[in-house]
Amino acid sequence: MGSSRGEFMISKRIACIGAGYVGGPTMAVIAMKCPQYKVNVVDVSEARIKAWQTDNLPIFEPGLLDVVRAARGRNLFFSTEISAAIRESEVIFVSVNTPTKTFGEGAGKAADLQYWEKVAREILRESGSSKIVVEKSTLPVKTAQTMENILNANGKKVHFEVISNPEFLAEGTAVKDLLEPDRVLIGSRETPQGFAARQEIVDIYANWVPKDRILTSNVWSAELSKLVANAFLAQRISSINSISALCEKTDASVQEVARAVGMDSRIGSRFLNASVGFGGSCFKKDILNLVYICESYGLQEAARYWESVLAMNEFQETRFVRTIIREMFNTIVGKRIALFGFAFKADTSDTRESPSIYVARKLLEERAFVAVTDPKALDNARIDLAGYKENLDFVEDPYEAAKGAHAVAIMTEWAMYRSLDWENIYRSMEKPAFLFDGRNVLNHEQLYNLGFNVYPLGRPPLKHF
Ligand code: NAD
Ligand code: UGA
């Protein structure tokens, strides 16, 4: 079987519906690693697809352009021809967005599955042969059941096997995470057809992922594991953030505490950096989803437990703004405050659920003048703050952003902020000059010696008065 494409025989045709942060990089890596497969990435958004066809990719991700260029036009194709891609593929990954529902039953908590269901119906309509449908989006446990019900309630003689293959990549490190994953999880029905479909997906990843890192499970465990992994990661951040508040009251240092705690091999050192709060498109959405699922099974105590992880995150954001206002003599009206960083983390242009959005809004409501700077995320920042017309400036150059400012607040841990000429920045600012380090990335003693009043997270402030 298979047809010839240049020097390779095409042995599998893969489609991916949804060319976003997950679909694009995931498929680019599969195509690069597997020249024997033809990979079609499709999306309803023409703008996104056009961008994938150029070197100005729609998302910023270190190393991604090289991966795309290695396969694009060879066995990796981006298009809006969704129907054609469905028809010609044996395996269809679905990586559309699954945001929190904003209306009706479960509003504010449950996952909004309308995009998913639309895709399922499109797959059903266009398919003339049996296919494996792979859930790449993060979905509530038991979604595969619904999908199977929709897909297999057809008069056609085609069968759909639904596989759960959740994605664990983090933004900013997507390429590395895909090339060297901690694990790949593939869940299927435990039937002969389910096992066969599972093996097909295992075979794709086995082209570059060591066998002992490819985990298989039943489909429900795979769906649930994805929500739980994000919930556990977020819970660690909320745990250390709660301790940062206590450290500020007790002269302890949250970094020293995190180090001491994290050196216990049972606890581990990662994801223990106190911050102004976690952001990103998924932690909040997936925890809300978990809470909703617990509630719908009558597990109120489990729901409240996970809800508290989000409450702690909100507390941390609110606390950060309150500290700014209180320490700047209880008024920031008319004061220029420079926000260094708007992306929800370093090395991405993504600002979804970024704590910077909340902080900027609160400062503007207090009638401060907010200058936003970020090396990659200014376009998104402009969209996020589109409702605010006054007292707001977007500046490429951090030195310009800080000029004449009363305060600088570090919001994103961009490496470049560590190597800025802080003496120069201090000179250009109003005095007393304040520095609020929402990521604990700067050398606080050095800044204090330059004249700044420094407010680290989870450590008593270093101030000159
Ligand atoms: P995204 O919004 O960047 O991309 C989703 C894409 O799907 C969009 O381009 C949209 O136009 C397209 N789409 C929506 N409906 C469509 C339809 N009917 N037909 C064709 N295209 C359609 O989202 P994302 O960040 O890539 O996330 C996708 C899923 O992966 C979500 O469930 C998310 O929870 C999960 N996830 C995301 C990350 C991450 O780092 N962003 C990591 C792991 C898992
Ligand atoms: C997260 C998970 O790490 C991925 O495994 C998962 O696939 C993904 O969500 C998803 O499902 O979307 P991501 O949101 O891209 O990835 O980035 P993270 O590195 O997890 O950071 C999330 C937020 O937590 C960021 O705002 C980051 O600054 C913050 N964070 C992280 C901290 O405040 N402290 C830490 O110690 C670590």
Mean pLDDT per 10-residue section of the chain, whose length is 465 residues = 59 97 98 98 98 96 97 98 97 95 92 92 94 94 86 85 97 97 98 98 98 97 97 98 96 97 98 98 96 96 98 98 98 98 96 98 98 97 95 98 98 98 98 98 98 97 95
Q: Are strands 8-10 and 3-5 parallel, antiparallel or unpaired?
A: antiparallel
Q: What is the rounded (10 degree) CA torsion for 228, 230, 235, 236?
A: 120
Pocket test of ligand 1: the residue of 43, 98, 168 to mutate, having most ligand atoms within 8 Å of its CB, is 43
Atom of ligand 1 nearest to the CA of 139: 32
Look at residue 142 in the predicted model and tell me its pLDDT. 85
Determine the Cα–Cα distance for residues 325 and 331; give it in Å rounded to an integer.
6
SS3 411: coil
Atom of ligand 2 nearest to the CA of 138: 11
Can 282 be counted among the known catalytic residues?
Answer: yes
Q: Is the CB of 411 under 6 A from ligand 2?
A: no
Atom of ligand 1 nearest to the CA of 22: 26
Determine the Cα–Cα distance for residues 65 and 175; give it in Å rounded to an integer.
10
Residue nearest to atom 28 of ligand 2 (CA): 345
Look at residue 6 in the predicted model and tell me its pLDDT. 53
Atom of ligand 2 nearest to the CA of 169: 7
Segment 346-374, tens digit of pLDDT: 999 999 999 999 999 999 999 999 999 99
State the amino acid at position 278 in one-letter form.
F
Answer yes or no: are the C-beta atoms of 106 and 99 closer than 8 Å: no
Which residues are CB-contacts of 82 (< 8 A; sequence separation ≥ 6)?
Answer: 17, 42, 43, 44, 122, 126
What DSSP state is assigned to residue 187?
E
Closest ligand by atom to 231 CA: 2
Determine the Cα–Cα distance for residues 160 and 34; give it in Å rounded to an integer.
24
Cα–Cα distances (Å) from 245 to 242, 263, 325, in that order, read 5, 21, 17
Which residues are CB-contacts of 193 (< 8 A; sequence separation ≥ 6)?
Answer: 159, 161
145-154 burial string, b = 16+ CB within 10 Å, else e? Answer: ebbbebbeee
CA of 176 to the centre of ligand 2 (A): 15
Average pLDDT, the chain: 96
**Helices (H) and strands (E) in the chain — how many of each?**
17, 16
Packing angle of the helix pair 300-327, 219-250 (nearest 10 deg): 40
Sign of CA dihedral 275, 276, 279, 283: positive
Residue nearest to atom 12 of ligand 2 (CA): 282
Look at residue 147 in the predicted model and tell me its pLDDT. 86
Q: Is the CB of 97 under 6 A from ligand 2?
A: no
If we measure between CA atoms, which residue out of 99, 154, 123, 152 comes closest to residue 16?
Answer: 123
CA of 158 to the centre of ligand 2 (A): 40
Q: Please report which helix (H) or strand (E) contains residue 12, including its range.
A: strand 12-17
Determine the Cα–Cα distance for residues 304 and 302; give it in Å rounded to an integer.
6
Segment 229-280, tens digit of pLDDT: 999 999 999 999 999 999 999 999 999 999 999 999 999 999 999 999 999 9
Share of the chain above pLDDT 70, in %: 98
Pocket test of ligand 2: the residue of 176, 224, 282 to mutate, having most ligand atoms within 8 Å of its CB, is 282
Closest ligand by atom to 19 CA: 1
Look at residue 7 in the predicted model and tell me its pLDDT. 63
